[in-house]
Structure formats: structure tokens, C-alpha cells
Structure 1
Amino acid sequence: MLVPMRWLKEFVKINEEPEELAQKLTMSGSNVEGIEYWGKDIKGIIIGEIEKIEKHPDADKLLIVYVNTGNETIQIVTGATNVREKNKVPVALNGSIIAGGKKIRKSKFRGVDSWGMLCSAEELGLDDHGLPPEIQEGILILPEDAPVGTDIKDYLPLEDAVIDFEITPNRPDCLSIIGMARETAATLKSELTIPKIALNEEGEEFVKDKVTIKIEAEDLCKRYTARIIKDIKIEPSPLWMQRRLQTCGIRSINNIVDITNYVMLETGQPLHAFDYDKIRGNSIIVRRARPSEELETLDGNIRELNEDMLVIADKSRALGLAGVMGGADSEITSSTRNVLIESANFFGPNIRRTSRQLGLRSESSMRFEKGLDPNICLMAADRACQLIEQLGAGKVLKGCVDVFPAKPAPREIAFSPDRINKVLGTSIPQDEMIDILRRLEIDVRHDSGILKAIVPTFRQDLVEEADLVEEIGRMYGYDKLPTTLPYGNVTQGKLDDYQKYIDDIKDVLVYNGYFETYTYSFVSPKVFDIIKTPNDSPLRKAIELLNPLGEERSIMRTTLLPNMLDTISFNLNHKAEELRFFEISSVYLPKQLPLKELPVENKRIVMGLCGESMNYYDLKKAIETIFTKLRIKNWDFIPASHFAFHTSRCAKILIGDKEIGFVGEVHPDVLENYEINKKVYAAELDLDTILENASNKVIFKPLPKFPASERDLAIVVDERVLARDIIKEICESGKPLLESVELFDVYQGGQIAKGYKSMAFSLVFRAPDRTLTDIEVNEVFEKIEKSLKDKFNASLRE
């Protein structure tokens, strides 16, 4: 992310020099890759006004221009043909330096003295791509209000320091000037100032009367906001805006396109501008692409789409590839008079897959694929309209259309200052921790003696207490964290609870047909590429051996998954058909490299299945049996994504609010790397966390004295509704008479409407003190039916 200092200073007060600021931000977790200085070598160029133009007496292609520089009128010989009397132009005086370090001296052309040079955009270090053709080929003509005699660097933001930040995938909020301003303000303990957006809305009509928005794929589009601007004037952007885009690596196109790019850089929210008059039926539909549907994108290529891709369409055709690139049919051109501004929020993994499948990556897709905060959509659209009004580029219609099905709420994370200090090895006062979090816009409140952090929605990377430990640690200062040595307690010579739990886990898995394996703790660095580990993943920070036997055993492993896949591949090559394996071992996670203290040896368990009769549910059942054996409660399986697993067949496993690992079908690309041609199901779990939640406490209950009453319940619900959510609602609604509930059938087919599924549950009712009557059971059963209908719009299957 390229961040110009001039732009950053609009949001936060900075007294530090660029190098000092870069050092402070690096120590607070924002890694700086470099600093580039723009326009630093330009000197002695001022704004002049052309008073008179004469033809050169001895050269047909040269002109003699008399320029008022504020203090005097000087004579300059030029070959430019686009200059006129009264033009304001940049003038390089005798002894000045233009972009590139070239020094300008008094010279003579065909016997006529020239006391300087009129400068083009290129000679000022500007990108002339967005300027009119006559200026691209000639002298830069400045606005009429440019003050004569003023140094050009005081009028145009030619000089700037641009800091290049390395933004990790978990911080999409930092892919913006405002995002980096937040980090800067928190680091410098300075105030963040974000100006309020105010619009005149001079257009007499209302947006809601001009366009309708419909989101058909709500799982792929969380929000869609639209604003309309009429009487658009397509022209070059002002030089200050062009310069800012240039320093951020974006070329100027025209004022409307430049404004959308400018707002994307400023807020982090990508925008797209449609030619409103080319939208058929005045309707925007956010839907999945139709099979083999084609779209000509703005780069001039015709692309064939599939049903997994999301498009922005009107009544008859696709207008753009959502979150990736617009379509040529609705492109902004010089004849555009009315514009619809789109500010939307799309599902990141879908944008990533689409971008990869089409080989098409843009600034927008790069941001969307990391996951953006849907709450900033309207603000970004308003900011674009504010700039359009400020530049006089059009009239903003009143209001907007904002389709926002489900607004996300701030996340609450309970934390303990004592635990944070224990993890960091520090003694940071509680008040200082709270101050650090509030500087990061994370509010803190006391709730019954427990501290809770209220995480804003733009910080989607903060999900648990460990994340707050990192935030407090980096803002406190990595250089201030003390170095500590590990310690331990002497144990008696017998199996402790930890060892007994591990024996219980092994007994469960062996009983279910699994074979235990043992593999080397040393692996090859290539395993990370083989399992598609992201380049910035912490797993790649592995400890290198000082004296390895070879490259294949040169680092200490940080994950057990490659070892399991190696084991399965080896057995398949030796004609084994049905495979069930598990391994309990350690991974070695260094706190820093090179090592200054011992790494964390995290105990994990990895499991793998392969065979025609096996599937994901066999593996899930084994994990659930382990949890039951260890008397663990509050565990859950949540659909998720993982780089080594199939994109739509993976779940993360939680105990309470702690994530302990992943389970699912291994990605076909990974299997291909291991030369495995069968489906493989695998899981890797944090065994330490599992055992922390294990219990050996047994509670006995007397056998029931009264008979149970059993009922079956078959309902039809939206296919996106999860069985676990329905079971939770049944249990809650069926209290206190409902004893158990079990899902025994799921059906989708000809008798069920598309997009829906039938789910059948077996319910057992029992009272501890009496035999239940049919009336009592019917009342609870009807209560459950009503609850499911109210919450999930479920209907009984007939």
C-alpha cells in the first residue's frame, strides 16, 4: 500500500520525518518496505503568465514568448504550439532544476536569447495520461487562478514522501489512507480527524425514483448502495488529484473514474461508475452469472462466465463482473451524461475464486477478496458525490438506494489484563491497556467485573483474546517486551490427567479403526508450497536446522498435515485401499527468527481418511466421539475456508469461542501435488486447547422411571439453514420436556422446491415425575413448530 505523506497528514498530525515515522510504524506492526521521494529534485520553477507571443525571425517552428514571472518579464524561446497569451504556465528559470535532475541554463536559439523554459507535465514529474492531447504534447496550461510568481511546488503537490507498507491479508482495513491514518494516530498517540461529508444534492429528482436494486445472491453480496449524478461533465481531473493517484500507482483517466479510484484509496471501499443511460429497465440486479454467459470487460476481452461468478446486471444482460471489473457496455465515455455510482460489499472468497479463474486481478478485487466492512459503503458513495460536487462535475440526485439485508454488529471480546501480561511477560497497567485499545478505536467497558473489548466492524481480524494480546503488545512496543525462559513443575511418577486424556483419545480412534502413525519432526521447506500455504502465513516461519541431513529434512515442522498426506500417499502407492490414520505429535512455532528463546511446542492431533466407503461425516463423528469421551461441552463445527482444503467442504472447529482447528476434504490441487487420485478427508486440531477443556468429572443420574414419548418432525427450510441452528432452536423451545433430538434424514429433490431442503428429526420427550400425556407432548410439539416457523420460516413437509 503506497501512502503519500501529504494525504496522510490530512487525517492525523505528523511532526516526524518520513524515516522516523516509518520506524515507529514498523515497531507498532505496520511493516514499511521502503520510502520513495517525489519531486524532491525540482527547484526554481515558478508560475508565469504569457504576455505576448511572437514568431521567431529565423525559425518557422519556434516562438518567442514573453512571460511575466511576478518580478520581471523574461524572454523564452519555445517550440510548443499549444500556448496562448494570458495562459498561466510553469516556468523553469535560469539555474532551475526539472524532474530527473536536469539543470536549466540560459541559452540561445537561432540568435535569440532564451532565459528559461516553459515546462510540460512530464518535466514536472506529472503523469500526463489524463490530460488533453494538446497538453500531453505541449506545455502544461495551469488554471486561470494560478498565482503568478508562486513556486510551482507551493501550488501543486509535486514534492511528497510516499511510504510503501506491506499489508497482511488479515488487515484489509489498512488498504486505505484512512486505515493507515488510524494506525499512525494510534502509534503517535495523536488525534485522528476524519472530516464530515456534507452534500448539496442539487438534483431535483430522488434516486429511489430512478433505479431499483435487487440482490438475488444475498450470500455473495452483503450490501449494495447506489447514488445517481446527472448532467455529468467528463473532463480531466484537477492536477492535485492526478498527482495523488500517480503517487499511489494509479493512472488518471477522467474526472469520474479518477474520483472512484481516489475514494477507493482514501476509504478502502472500491466503487464503480456505470453510464446510467445504458442501464436497461432502470434496474440493477446482483445475481450469479448464467451458464456460459459472456461479458466484455473494460480491458476489451470477452470472458465466458459460470454460475459460481457474481455479476451486476440489468433487466437483460450483465453490466459488470462484481468486485473485479466493469463491463464495456456501461463504460463511462466522453458522451456520458448521467452516472450511477455503485458502492457494494461482496463475499471475499467468491471474488478471489472469480479473479483467479479468469486470470483477472484488479485493485478492487484485491481489496474485496480480503473481506471489507459493509458499514463503509454509504460513506464511500457519499464521499465520491462530495468530490463530484466540489469539482463541479455534475448534480447529485437526492437520497440513495441502499439495500442492506443484515447489518453486522460490533464484536465483544472478554479479556483479562492479568492473562495478557502473563502472555506478553509484561506488567502493563490495566489503564494503559485500555488506553491502547481505545487509540485503536476499540472501546472497553466493564460488565459484572469483566472487561470487554467492543471491536469495530472494520477490524474483522480481532475475534478472541489472543488477538487483543497482539494488539496491546504491538502498540506497547515489540522492543519493550522482555525475554523470558520457560519453566515447569516437577510431577509425580505416574500418568497425569494430560497423559490419561491422550490415552483415552488413542483408545477412541483405535476402536474406530484408525492406525497410529509416527513421522519425522523434520520436513522439507517445499511442503508449504505443496499444501498451498500463503506466502505470509506464520506456518512458513519455520526453524532451520544448523546441520540438516539434506533439504528433505532441513526445517522443523509447523503443521502435521503434510506428514499425514505423505503417509496416505505412501500407502496408496502400496495398493492399500481403505486408510484411517492419526498422529499425535508436536509442531514447533518460534516466537521470532533467528531464535532467541525456545519455540512453542504445540501438541496437535492430525487425522486422515481415504477410501470409497468413507466421507467427511466419518471423520466428524470420530472427532465428536473424542469430545464426548473427554466430556467437552460447547463445541461446534462452522463452515469456513482453509488454503489446504476444498473451498466449499471445510469447517473450523470451535470449543466455546476458541478455534481449535479445521476438518474437511483436502483440496484437489493439494492431492495432485501428492499424486493422490482419490478423495482424502483430514483434520488437524490443537490438542493443547482440547485437553484444557477436558474433564474427568462424572455426574450420575438415576435411570428414568417413566416412559418416553417419541415424535418425528419433518420440515422444509432454505437450503442455507444449518442443521445445528435448527437443533439448538428445537432444544430451546422444547424445554423442559424434550430429552433428545436427532437428525436422521436430509432430502433435496423433485418433491422439494429449488433452494430448499427437507430435514427430518427424531424427538424424545420425557418427564422425570410422571408419564406424559398426548396433550402435553402436543403442546410442546406445536411450540417447537411455531418457533421454527418464526425463526427459519420452516414449514411442515406434507
Structure 2
Amino acid sequence: IGNYIMLELGFPMHIFDKDKIAGGKIIIKRLQKECELEALDGSVVRLAPGDTVVADESAPLVIGGIIGGESSGVTEATKNIFIEVANWYPAEIRRLSSRIGIRTESSQRYEKHLDISLARTTALRAIELVLKLCPKAKIIGKLEYAGIDLKSIPTLTIKTSTERISALLGKDIAEDRVISILENLEFQVKKDGNELAVTVPSFRATKDIECEADIVEEIGRIIGYGSITPRSPVVSLAPVRLSFTKSTERKLEDFFVLRAKALQIQTYPLIGAALLKKAAWDTKNEALILKNPISEDADRMRPSLIPSALHAAALNAKHTTSFKFFEIGRAYLEDSKNFARERFCIAFAYFDSNESKYMQTLNIIEDMCSYLSLPAEFLPMEDLAPTVLSLNWCGLHPIERQTLRVMGKGDGGVFSVHPSLLSELKIDGFLTLAVIDLTSFTERQPTRTLKYKPLSKYPSSTFDCTVICDPHCPAQKVIDAIKTIKEKEIEDVKIATLFRLPNGKKSITVRTRFHNPKQTLKPERIKELEETVVNRLAESGFPLKT
């Protein structure tokens, strides 16, 4: 009877030999200690603490939702029976069934989540069949129920319309036919204008019918998918304009690959505490740790691209004497209001085993700003602290460092990595990093103004001079001194080279370009401009190297 009703109604049940139930009542509980149970299939199952069983006063009788026990099973000699119908948690049934290695028709149904409303119908159907087979049988007592109030279970109502159903199926279906199909499937349908409110029966609302697409599927199943004529969807095609952030990202890739001759890398946005400690990075992002990380080395969102860049540089420095790479990625900072702040950043690294590439990196970043039409300028870090790193970071070089002020904010920094940290990372050489936070730039989306001018017909003249300065003097001050000269022929000023002298001083080679777009500069004028530059440098405390 039990198996027949399970196949008929889809709801398992269990029938006990009542005379074998110690104390005359059953108890549903979780085991407190290990025990063994002989199942109806003859196997002996070892149960663990926490397993759910149906027991009497002395011992477990049934493994809840999976299989009954031999000790309380019905036999040819059974005179009194006890009918039990229960519903069980699907996940627990699945875990316990997999652990003990027993899969039954009952457990497979419970794993799919059953409708508790069918329990009463199942019990009544069992009584009906018992009385039909044993007309003289007597029913003692009444139906007893323990569980949630069945009336408190909310009904699921899904809004749809004939128009949407026809559009999704690709076939016009009359509204009367839609309503007829649903009502024959025991759905309740209420019409409200063009909308249909479909109430799902409880036995279909358990992981079966959950959304409008499921209603459409029911209609399609009944009318037959073979009756639907295949048609290609008609959609409008229009060119997609890249977002400002994506456009900026592609421009950065073009610049660093084609003009800076750098390789692009891609590191993981998830890092571990070990890498942060190795990089001596103070911000640990403890609030952005994953609950279930794939490993300890990827258990939190990275607070900066710098630790990842240092790790990549350490790996590559083992195999080559000079390289340049860049990464465009996201950094994540803790935020008490919004949980986290995501920052759009770029990191550029220049490594050489023989000499520092600090000045070359400054020139590359300056060209990048010009390429992006990014309003930016370099300032000493002592005058403006960068937002992308702390001035107290031990990896920051005491002299070779500059803040990049982007649109009025110190959102960038160019610096050499301190030799002590390079030694800790086992990097033998010189490493210069540039890190820029472009979030504000991409959010404000400043209008790019392009100015075109014809190529000059007249040649320019380049003048190099080497000056002596204190070892702690920023090279930018040398450039600033020349920029104070009010001569329209001075078109560009850059640092060409920088050397450390044996006496502790620093020599800086400055490259100045002279040009007049209206005429060729005469030798006398060029000589005059050169003397003006040399005199201004001397006045500013930067004498020529002799």
C-alpha cells in the first residue's frame, strides 16, 4: 500500500507494525550518539550523532525520509498498523543518503522538495485502501498533525499576459485557450484587463513553477513545441559607443604597448596577507576578506596594485636584466558606508639591473598624460602626499619620488622602490613604479579639446647642459627654473640623464628645445637663448658641471 500510494500521489509514507513500537508512540529526533540500524533491505547502517530518525522509547525505527527499519516492519503476522506521513528537509536527506550509501524511491522524492499539503491526502488515501482490502479493520484515534500551520503557507501568484506568452513562444495563442490550459492543470486564473493573475497550486509550487517563464513552458508543453514555426528574431542593430572608462583603458593599452614599449600583465584582484606582509603594505583590508577563499593567498580584495606589481617584478627579474610592464586593474578600499570603494588604477614598472630608470619613467608618464589630455603635473611628495600610497611606506625611495597631481588631486605617484625592500624581495637591480588612480578622471569625463596646427616648415634646435645640485634636490626644480624664462622660442624642457657623483653631489643633464614656427632660428639667437638658460640655472643655484 505504501509504495502504491507513493507512485500514485508522489508522496512517500511509512507503515509500522504498531505492536513493535515500544511505548506505543513514535518520536522524531536527532541522534545524540552513534548507533546501528538494520534496514528493510537487510543492510546494517551505522548512524552518526545529528542524524534524524523516527524512534520509539527504546531505539531508532526508521532513517527519516530514506528507509524503514526491519525491527518495526510489517510482516504476515502483523495485526495492528501505525501510518506515518512526514515531510523532510531536502538538503539533509541528500547529505545523509549520500553518506550512508542508500538511495531509495522515497529519498529521491524528498530531495526534490515535496508539498506538505499532500500529507493529509496521502494519509487518508492509505486509510481508504486499508479499509478496502480489510473491510473489518477498525480505525483507532484520529489524524494527528505536528508542524507549521498549513494555512500560513503563502500561495504563489504569477502575473503574465497572453501577449507575453505568445511573444515568448513565437506563436499566437487565444486567451481563452491559455486560460483553459492552465485551469485544466489546476492553476487558478483571474483576468485583470490584459493581465492574467495565475495562482500556482501548492503541489506545483515546490521548486517547480516559480516564475513567468515556467507558466509559458506549461503552455508550450501542452500545445506542443512541434506546432511552433521556427522564426529568426527581428532585432535592431546599432553601433555601440564605448564608455569613457573603457575608451580610456584602450588608449592606455595603446600608449604603453606602442609608445612605451611595455608588456601588459594581468594579476589577480584577490591577494593574501602573506603578499601584503612581504610588500610591507599597511592596509590589510580585513573587512574585505572572503568567507570561503579558494586559498590563503587569495583571501581578500587587494587594496593597491603595488604589492601585485612588486610580486610580478620579482618573478621577472630572475630571468631578464631589463623590462617594462603595466597593468590596468581595480583596487578596493574599505568603506564604512558602502562596504567597499572600487578604484580604477594603472601601474607601470620599469626595471633595470644596472641603473635607475626613474627619469625615463617620469618622461613616460608625462607623455601618457599628454596623450590622454589629462591635466596633470609633478610635485614633490613633501608638498603634496599621493593618495595611492603612504609616505610612511618603507618601500618608498627617500629622493626619487614625485606626486602626480591629476585634476587638482594627488591621485598618482612616480617613485623608485627602496633598495632595502628590493633586497627583501630578492630583486637585484633598480625598480621604478608609477601608480595612478584614474577614478576621478573617468567619473568626471572631462571634454577633450584637440588643437590642430600645421607641421612647422622650420627646424628646431636642441641644447643639452649638465648642472650640479645637491643629492636631495628634486630634478623638477631644475626644469621649473628654466620654465621661468619668458622666451617664446623655448618650446620644451626635459631631464635627459641623472648621475650620482663620487663627491656626493648629483649631476642632471637638461635638454631644452628651441623653435620658432615662423622662421629659422639664426645661430646668434640660438647662442643667446643658450646663455639665457645657463645664466638662469646659475641664478637658481644650479651651476654648470665643469
So what's the TM-score if we normalise by structure 2? Answer: 0.47
Higher relative contact order (CA 8 A, sep 6+): 1
Larger radius of gyration: 2
So what's the TM-score if we normalise by structure 1? Answer: 0.33
